[in-house]
């Protein structure tokens, strides 16, 4: 499989980009990698890059976007931060990726049993981590069940995963509200902004469309 070129990127649509990622995740789950020569792709991309998607995911060592979607060099922009939320710098990176570099899709990828989500659920305090987890707290507060405080913590994995899904949805809302550039591109059907969840038990990615 060759690296993407200006021509292949130009033929890409938001829906086609989603399909590419879905097919890649199916290959990953089946342990059937696309036939690609990474060193050849180093050469192919040495004078330019033409990725088709931008993926915001967690720093979790089990959730490498390139691996779980079976993508090669030059295929995707990968933004990683614990809890997959956005701030000014991440939004600026996304605007570069979409408006200037031509990606057609933004995916906010959460995952099951997320440590950052667990930390927010437990109201963990530790240096700069405290400030970071505060950005995830709105997702914790948005999940009303269970009401019993003794069940609203990291030991309740169903609660943790529900918070993770809500965090993906709120992150997408924040992208649209805080980036007029990306909101306009989505309104014009130039890009699509979607959420997804990665299951650490199966390797499967479920898209929220």
- List the binding residues for Zn(2+): 58, 60, 111, 114
Please check whether residue 83 is in contact with residue 135, taking contact to mean a CB–CB distance below 8 angstroms: yes
The pair phi, psi for residue 18, each rounded to 5°, is -60, -45
Cβ atoms 50, 76 nearer than 8 A: no
In angstroms, rounded to a whole number, what is the distance separating the alpha carbons of residues 104 and 110? 20
CA distance 37 to 43: 10
Q: Helical H runs in the chain?
A: 6-10, 14-29, 38-44, 65-68, 88-95, 115-121, 127-134, 137-142, 157-178, 180-187
| Beta-sheet strand order (sheet of 76-80) | 76-80, 53-57, 105-111, 192-198, 205-208
CB 68 within 8 A of CB 92: no
Binding annotation: 58, 60, 111, 114
Residue carrying the six token digits 């997804």: 196
């Amino acid at each position: 499989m060759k690296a993407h070129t200006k021509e292949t990127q130009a033929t890409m649509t938001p829906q086609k980009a989603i399909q590419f990622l879905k097919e890649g995740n199916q290959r990953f789950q089946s342990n059937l990698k696309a036939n690609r020569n990474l060193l050849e792709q180093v050469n192919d991309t040495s004078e330019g890059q033409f990725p088709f998607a931008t993926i915001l995911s967690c720093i979790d060592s089990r959730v490498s976007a390139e691996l779980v979607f079976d993508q090669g060099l030059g295929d995707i922009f990968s933004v990683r931060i614990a809890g997959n939320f956005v701030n000014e710098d991440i939004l600026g990176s996304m605007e570069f990726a979409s408006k200037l570099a031509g990606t057609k899709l933004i995916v906010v990828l959460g995952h099951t049993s997320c440590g950052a989500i667990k930390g927010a659920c437990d109201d963990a305090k530790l240096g700069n981590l405290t400030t970071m987890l505060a950005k995830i707290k709105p997702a914790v507060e948005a999940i009303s069940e269970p009401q019993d405080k003794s069940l609203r913590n990291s030991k309740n994995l169903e609660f943790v995963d529900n918070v993770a899904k809500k965090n993906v949805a709120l992150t997408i809302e924040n992208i649209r509200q805080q980036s007029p550039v990306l909101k306009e591109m989505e309104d014009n059907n130039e890009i699509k902004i979607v959420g997804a969840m990665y299951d650490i038990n199966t390797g499967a990615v479920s898209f929220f469309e």
